[in-house]
Structure 1
Amino acid sequence: MFAVSAARTDEKDPLAGLEAGERPEPEAPEGWTTVTVRAASLNHHDLWTLRGVGISQDRLPIVLGCDAAGVDEDGNEVVVHAVIGDPAAGGGDETLDPRRSLLSERYDGTLAERVAVPRRNLVPKPAALSFEEAACLPTAWLTAYRMLFDKAGLEPGATVLVQGASGGVATALVALGRAGGYRMWVTGRSEEKRARAVELGADAAFEPGARLPERVDAVMETVGQATWAHSLKSLRPGGRIVVSGATSGSVPPADLSRVFFLQLSVVGSTMGTRDQLARLLTFCEQTGVRPEIDRVLPLVEAREGFAAMDRGELFGKIVFTP
């Protein structure tokens, strides 16, 4: 079958290890099944893998990709949950299983014509969502859903700042937050991306580090070191930062005096459970909210999509169709 793989890693030139071509058909052990992929989406996780982060060299070559929607062996339209873990080991939450992994870390991923996954990882795809839309949800959108509706502890009407305006998680946060009744503010480096975030549903967009009209109830933080100080200064007393990534670095000054004096909370969030993915699909079906798709490319042109993400030249999700 045709697939896109990480053949080797290179910290400075991640695309150097990207290979597209024939790979063995997936084998489904007991409790697993095979899904014929109709659409798969790209995540920063795929670029990090090509840089050598979170992957051991003995796993290479490995098919990339966490997200997919397709058809299972019984002809059902499904969405693939990317977290491979034991819910029992995490007290019912597979993301807390210390041995968990994502597709494309220990097992071949979704950027292929077919992928093998545990049967429990399949969620029915609502007919109202296209395969391309559904393929955007299991990583970036599920991460945003959990940050907003589980970890943030907010009520509708709260004001939320999203650090960043254009990536998959950021655009998901804006769309989901707007549909959930929050007032959504974003920061963005370019005027064009700030304007597009407002078109998507953000109530206001600011330059990075800008002084805000008022302090916010929560900050959704995926950037890390470059925005951390601004995130802390933007919170009202008792406010909360929800952290799901640190693309610019993970060791910013903690500013502990501000944290304890203003009684701020810092909460970590990783992905989401299979049940949360099912609720996210229902939320999209019921509200009409849909992922912002930057472009749809045939899988044979995957390098173009990887290059665009590496350069930061995207707004929303990049989707591949085998």
Structure 2
Amino acid sequence: MFAVSAVRADKDDPLAALELGERPEPETPESWTTVQVRAASLNHHDLWSLRGVGLSADRLPMILGCDAAGVAEDGSEVIVHGVVGDPEAGGGDETLDPRRSLLSERWPGTFAERVRVPRRNLVPKPAALTFEQAACLPTAWLTAYRVLFDRAGLRPGQTVLVQGAGGGVATAAIALGRAAGVRVWVTSRSEAKRAAALELGADQAFESGQRLPERVDAVLESVGQATWAHSLRALRPGGTIVVVGATSGEAPSAELNRVFFLQLSVVGSTMGSREQLAALARFTEVSGVRPVIDRVLPLSRAREGFAAMAADELFGKVVFTP
């Protein structure tokens, strides 16, 4: 079957580690089930995998991709939850399972014509969503959903600052927050991305590092070193910063005096549970919110999508269709 794979690790030129072509059907436990992939979305995780982060050399070559929507063996339309937990852990929140992995880390991923997953990882796809829209939910949109309504515990009328306006998590947070009555502020170095964020529903957009007119209740932090100091200074006393990534580096000054004196909460968050993915799918259905898609490409042109992500040229998600 045709697939997009990491064949080696190259931290300086990740696209050089990318290979498109025929791959054998994946070997997985017999209890797993096959999904015919109709759409799969690109995440920064896939780019990091090409750099060798989280993907060891002994697992190469590896089919990439965490997110997909498609058709199950019984003909039902489904969304694939990419977090694979220990089946003996007894259910619950898979993201807290110390033995968890993501598709494309230990098991072949979704950038292929077919993917095999545990049956418990399938969530019904709402009929109102296209396969392309549904494929955007399991990582970026699920991350934003968990941050806003679980880890930050935001309520209507409160304000969240989203660092970096153009990525999949950021655009999801804007759309979801607005639909739930949360005031969303964003930052970006790009004037075009700030304008696009306002058009999508952000209340205000600021240049990166710009002083804000007032302090916020929560910050969604995915950038790391470049924005950490600004994120801490943006919070009101008792506010919460939720860290979901560190794309610019992970060694900023902790500013512990500010953290304890203002009683700030620093919280980590990774994706979300299967139950939260199902709730997110229902939320999009009843609210009318839809994922922002930058471009849809056939899987045979996946390299173009990876290149656009590496160059930070996206506003929203890249979706591949086999």
Instruction: Place the TM-score, normalised by the shorter chain, in its bin.
Output: over 0.9
Alignment correspondent of 1:167? 167
8 Å Cα contact 1:186/1:194 also seen in 2: yes
Alignment correspondent of 1:110? 110
Alignment correspondent of 1:7? 7
Distance in 1 of aligned mates of 2:242 and 2:256: 16
Report the Cα offset of residue 90 of structure 1: 7.9
Which segments of 5 or more consecutive residues in structure 1 lack a partner in the other structure? none
Question: Aligned-residue CA RMSD in angstroms?
Answer: 1.0
Distance in 2 of aligned mates of 1:190 and 1:21: 35
What SS does structure 1 have at the residue aligned with 2:225? coil
Give, as a single letter, the amino acid of the residue that structure 1 aligns with 2:76. Answer: N
1:304 paired with 2:297, answer no
What SS does structure 2 have at the residue aligned with 1:5? strand
TM-score by length of 1: 0.98
Alignment correspondent of 1:24? 24
TM-score by length of 2: 0.98
8 Å Cα contact 1:218/1:235 also seen in 2: yes
1:205 paired with 2:201, answer no
Distance in 2 of aligned mates of 1:287 and 1:31: 36
Give, as a single letter, the amino acid of the residue that structure 1 aligns with 2:169. Answer: V
Distance in 1 of aligned mates of 2:28 and 2:264: 46
Identity between Structure 1 and Structure 2 (%): 79
Distance in 2 of aligned mates of 1:37 and 1:173: 26
1:36 paired with 2:36, answer yes
Distance in 2 of aligned mates of 1:263 and 1:88: 38
| Pairing of 1:220-299 with structure 2 (within 5 A) | 220-299=220-299
Report the Cα offset of residue 29 of structure 1: 2.2
Distance in 2 of aligned mates of 1:137 and 1:110: 14
| Pairing of 1:89-108 with structure 2 (within 5 A) | 89=89, 92-108=92-108
Report the Cα offset of residue 154 of structure 1: 1.9
Alignment correspondent of 1:142? 142
Q: Deviations over 1:111-143 (max 9, x none)?
A: 000000000000010100000000000000000
8 Å Cα contact 1:8/1:50 also seen in 2: yes
1:151 paired with 2:147, answer no
Distance in 1 of aligned mates of 2:29 and 2:261: 53
Q: Which runs of 4+ in 1 moved over 2 A?
A: 26-31, 86-91
Q: Deviations over 1:213-239 (max 9, x none)?
A: 100010010001100000000000110
Distance in 2 of aligned mates of 1:194 and 1:18: 31
Which segments of 5 or more consecutive residues in structure 2 lack a partner in the other structure? none
8 Å Cα contact 1:41/1:67 also seen in 2: yes
Distance in 2 of aligned mates of 1:31 and 1:177: 38
> What is the number of equivalent residue pairs in this alignment?
322
Q: Deviations over 1:56-76 (max 9, x none)?
A: 100000000000000011111
